[in-house]
């Protein structure tokens, strides 16, 4: 039941009858009162004051006169310039629960994205470097957005734009040939490569000629030298193998691993097209796109030595993605430090005459620190994500041993809770906020955390197991109380939350919603006996529990978290 539309239609009829006028868009004016005692929906009559040439209180009184209650609207009250609508709670409960339980995992889904593609560029790890905690946000925000857009009917294309090009890879080869061995790297994997990377930057402080060696070996890669390419391909294989373990643990997958090197033969088009369109100008030996009119520094396309830059590759990637996927949206889940870079890239594409530049968006996010410390790969001060996830599972396992020693399948539950806690902590706040990762907050079972939501889901499952065999003929008067109504309102709001999360590219809205629903259900659980009342009342309360369980599970799933049935 679309209650706002129903109320808007009744208002439309009353305005027509009382004032002889037709006013559109009434549904958009409806508000949700902050206090449930003021009704379920409120209409601010000051929105009509100018059109109807009357004071809001007078409009409210006129529209309320002769307003007939029906099976959906129990009553209407005037409060100053507001009309407050009170729903028929039994009918509301039946409508919401029918909708949730009939649609199940498809609840909140829609066809609004039918036939439309969304490209999502996220995670984008660097070759020859381990997956560290700083990659958590881009990976999990991107994964959540992919799930959310798919749920709304879009076809999401997940792209891991690998960092597999640049002078740093020449440095890696130089370091490997100077201080490493095949046996050492085979045994140590990416950890060994990282140790070589850190050593290179330590040694270069005393021997600047090492930078020349790094440039030499990168030039060898560019020229297609067999030895350089063999070593580089080996580094890439080791990196992807190392990252695959982490992605599998997180439940993250991609549709494309086309990285920077993939666009090597596609950048000529960018340079040629910019020249042909008169956009490429020389500046101090380099070639740039002038963005002074847009109050931005120039977008550098070619350096003095003719080398390309990130911007060149990102423009080539954008053109390729539009040609191959014909995206309706193209999202870049990259830290906020790259804001200027993406503004330059998008503006350059727009100046090239491509109106689809407006469909590209930088989905920025803040930085992660760990237990109060900032992280630096070059200095070796880095926390690896695989280590964090393993520690989270160990800590969750210890909590399980203490709180539920008889629980079956503790290892699997600990895995779901530990990993889920890390993901939830990352996604709980607006993405632009910086995050400080503290263990006592991450694995708290009582706060606004993943374990709290998972435990609430497990509680619902426990109630449903105990309620098996109760006759399923619900008496919805058993839900005529403020606590049940709060759960129902949350359930009804879920599709709106999903739409807003996609409109704003903010998965935290779904994470926050899951906490709100869990809190609402737990208040209901503590205030009201679910089993032991009359069969009809118990059936209604079990239906509410089943709906809460289904939506808690779905909301967690959409942000990449599993929901244990027992904890």
Q: Is 226 helix (H, G, I), strand (E, B) or coil?
A: helix
Round to whole Å and give the CA distance between 567 and 565: 7
Please identify which residue in the block is written with the tokens 């808007």.
8
Question: Does 341 qualify as catalytic in the annotation?
Answer: no
Q: Is residue 111 packed enough to be buried (19+ CB in 10 Å), middle (13-18) or exposed (0-12)?
A: exposed
Round to whole Å and give the CA distance between 416 and 388: 14
Phi, psi of 295, rounded to the nearest 5 degrees:
60, 40
Round to whole Å and give the CA distance between 442 and 423: 9
Task: Look at residues 517, 519, 513, 515 and name the one whose alpha carbon lies nearest to residue 497.
Answer: 513
Round to whole Å and give the CA distance between 146 and 364: 16
C-alpha of 421 from chain center? 15
- Tokens of residue 548, six digits: 């809460």
Q: Cβ atoms within 10 A of the Cβ of 268, count? A: 12
Question: Would you give the DSSP letter of residue 291?
Answer: -
Q: Is 383 helix (H, G, I), strand (E, B) or coil?
A: coil
Round to whole Å and give the CA distance between 350 and 439: 45
Those residues whose C-beta lies under 8 Å from the C-beta of residue 75, and which sit 6 or more positions away, are 69, 86
Please identify which residue in the block is written with the tokens 């190392």.
242
Question: Does 132 qualify as catalytic in the annotation?
Answer: yes
Residues shown for the chain: 567
Question: Does 129 qualify as catalytic in the annotation?
Answer: yes
Question: Would you give the DSSP letter of residue 267?
Answer: H
Round to whole Å and give the CA distance between 289 and 302: 10
Q: Is 363 helix (H, G, I), strand (E, B) or coil?
A: strand
Query: What burial letters (b/e) apply to 296-313, b meaning 16+ CB within 10 Å?
Result: eebbbbbeeeeebbebbb
Task: Look at residues 310, 277, 279, 313 and name the one whose alpha carbon lies nearest to residue 293.
Answer: 279
Q: Is 495 helix (H, G, I), strand (E, B) or coil?
A: helix
Round to whole Å and give the CA distance between 208 and 156: 46
Please identify which residue in the block is written with the tokens 């494309």.
256
| Active-site entry in 47, 135, 220, 457 | 135
| Active-site entry in 47, 129, 146, 329 | 129
Handedness of CA 440, 441, 442, 443 (dihedral sign): positive
Q: Is residue 429 packed enough to be buried (19+ CB in 10 Å), middle (13-18) or exposed (0-12)?
A: middle
Q: Is 376 helix (H, G, I), strand (E, B) or coil?
A: strand
Those residues whose C-beta lies under 8 Å from the C-beta of residue 2, and which sit 6 or more positions away, are none
Round to whole Å and give the CA distance between 425 and 166: 33
Rg from Cα positions in the chain: 29
Q: Cβ atoms within 10 A of the Cβ of 215, count? A: 14
| Active-site entry in 10, 47, 132, 322 | 132
The residues annotated as belonging to the active site are 129, 132, 135
């Amino acid at each position: 039941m679309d209650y706002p539309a129903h109320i808007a239609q009744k208002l439309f009829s009353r305005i027509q009858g009382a004032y002889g006028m037709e006013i559109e868009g009434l549904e958009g004016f409806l508000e949700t009162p902050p206090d449930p005692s003021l009704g379920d929906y409120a209409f601010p009559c000051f929105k009509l004051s100018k059109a109807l040439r009357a004071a809001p209180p007078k409009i409210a009184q006129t529209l309320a006169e002769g307003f007939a209650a029906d099976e959906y609207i129990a009553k209407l009250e005037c409060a100053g310039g507001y009309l407050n609508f009170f729903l028929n709670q039994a009918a509301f409960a039946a409508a919401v629960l029918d909708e949730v339980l009939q649609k199940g995992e498809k609840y909140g889904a829609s066809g609004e994205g039918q036939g439309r593609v969304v490209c999502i560029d996220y995670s984008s790890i660097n070759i020859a470097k381990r997956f560290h905690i700083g990659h958590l946000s881009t990976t999990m925000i991107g994964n959540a957005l992919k799930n959310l857009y798919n749920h709304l009917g879009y076809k999401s294309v997940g792209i891991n734009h690998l960092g597999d090009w640049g002078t740093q890879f020449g440095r890696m080869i130089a370091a490997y040939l100077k201080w490493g061995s095949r046996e050492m790297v085979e045994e140590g994997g990416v950890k060994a490569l990282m140790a070589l990377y850190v050593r290179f930057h330590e040694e270069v402080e005393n021997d600047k000629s090492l930078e020349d060696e790094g440039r030499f070996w990168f030039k060898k890669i560019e020229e297609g030298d067999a030895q350089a390419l063999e070593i580089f391909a080996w580094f890439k294989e080791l990196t992807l193998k190392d990252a695959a373990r982490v992605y599998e643990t997180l439940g993250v997958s991609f549709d494309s691993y086309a990285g920077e090197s993939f666009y090597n033969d596609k950048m000529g088009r960018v340079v040629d097209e910019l020249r042909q369109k008169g956009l490429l100008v020389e500046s101090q030996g380099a070639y740039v796109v002038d963005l002074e009119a847009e109050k931005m520094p120039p977008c550098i396309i070619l350096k003095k030595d003719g080398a390309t830059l990130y911007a060149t590759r990102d423009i080539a990637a954008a053109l390729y993605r539009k040609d191959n996927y014909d995206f309706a949206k193209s999202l870049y889940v990259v830290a906020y430090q790259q804001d200027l870079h993406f503004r330059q890239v998008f503006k350059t594409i727009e100046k090239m005459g491509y109106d689809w530049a407006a469909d590209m968006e930088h989905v920025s996010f803040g930085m992660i620190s760990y237990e109060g410390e900032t992280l630096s790969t070059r200095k070796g001060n880095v926390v690896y994500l695989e280590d964090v996830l393993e520690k989270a599972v160990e800590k969750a396992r210890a909590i399980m041993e203490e709180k539920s020693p008889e629980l079956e399948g503790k290892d699997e539950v600990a895995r779901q809770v530990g990993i889920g806690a890390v993901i939830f902590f990352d996604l709980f706040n607006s993405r632009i906020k910086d995050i400080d990762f503290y263990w006592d907050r991450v694995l708290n079972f009582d706060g606004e955390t993943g374990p709290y939501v998972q435990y609430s889901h497990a509680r619902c499952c426990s109630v449903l197991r105990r309620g098996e065999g109760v006759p399923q003929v619900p008496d919805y008067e058993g839900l005529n109380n403020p606590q049940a109504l709060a759960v129902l309102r949350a359930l009804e709001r879920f599709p709106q939350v999903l739409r807003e999360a996609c409109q704003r590219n903010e998965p935290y809205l779904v994470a926050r919603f899951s906490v709100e629903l869990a809190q609402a259900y737990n208040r209901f659980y503590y205030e009201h006996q679910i089993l032991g009342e009359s069969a009809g009342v118990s059936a209604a309360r079990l239906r509410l529990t089943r709906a809460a369980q289904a939506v808690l599970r779905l909301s967690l799933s959409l942000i990449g978290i599993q929901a244990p049935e027992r904890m």
